[in-house]
């Protein structure tokens, strides 16, 4: 696969930025006087802080749309409703067989004896 000059420059810039961030992290995390700053034992990561803040405030900024409604309906409500309907139909069918005498008492799945 041949990369264009623009792609090569982009990859090079990205690699240099990664190396710069790595060096900064190593510098901060290996500083023996870090405890004197009162920051604790972890290095502050602005990107991680933004991500965590976004996760916490996600529900405050949620706007219901047709897509989110369909997702909730098909992923949560519909499977539960279909399972409840299938369970009720199976139990009603079994109860009907018990009441009409098609299944002997000794052959029933759940007995009181």
Q: What was the pLDDT predicted at 40? A: 65
Q: What was the pLDDT predicted at 85? A: 98
Q: Which helix (H) or strand (E) holds 17?
A: helix 5-29
Q: What was the pLDDT predicted at 28? A: 83
The structural domains of the chain, with segments of one domain joined by +, span: 1-62, 63-102
Alpha-carbon separation of residue 91 from 48, 83, 86, 105, 109 (angstroms): 51, 12, 9, 16, 12
What is the residue-level pLDDT of the chain in tens, covering all 113 positions? 788 999 999 999 999 999 999 998 888 888 877 777 776 667 888 888 999 999 999 888 889 999 999 999 999 999 999 999 999 999 999 999 999 999 998 888 887 75
Q: Residue 25 and residue 42: Cα distance in Å, rounded?
A: 10
């Amino acid at each position: 696969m041949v990369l264009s000059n623009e792609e090569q420059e982009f990859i090079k810039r990205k690699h240099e930025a990664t190396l710069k961030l790595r060096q900064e992290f190593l510098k901060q995390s290996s500083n023996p006087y870090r405890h004197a700053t009162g920051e604790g034992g972890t290095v502050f990561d602005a990107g991680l802080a933004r991500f965590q803040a976004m996760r916490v405030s996600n529900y405050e900024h949620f706007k219901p749309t047709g897509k989110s409604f369909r997702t909730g309906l098909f992923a949560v409500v519909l499977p539960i409703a279909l399972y409840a309907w299938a369970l009720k139909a199976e139990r009603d069918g079994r109860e009907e067989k018990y009441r009409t005498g098609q299944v002997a008492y000794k052959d029933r799945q759940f007995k009181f004896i």
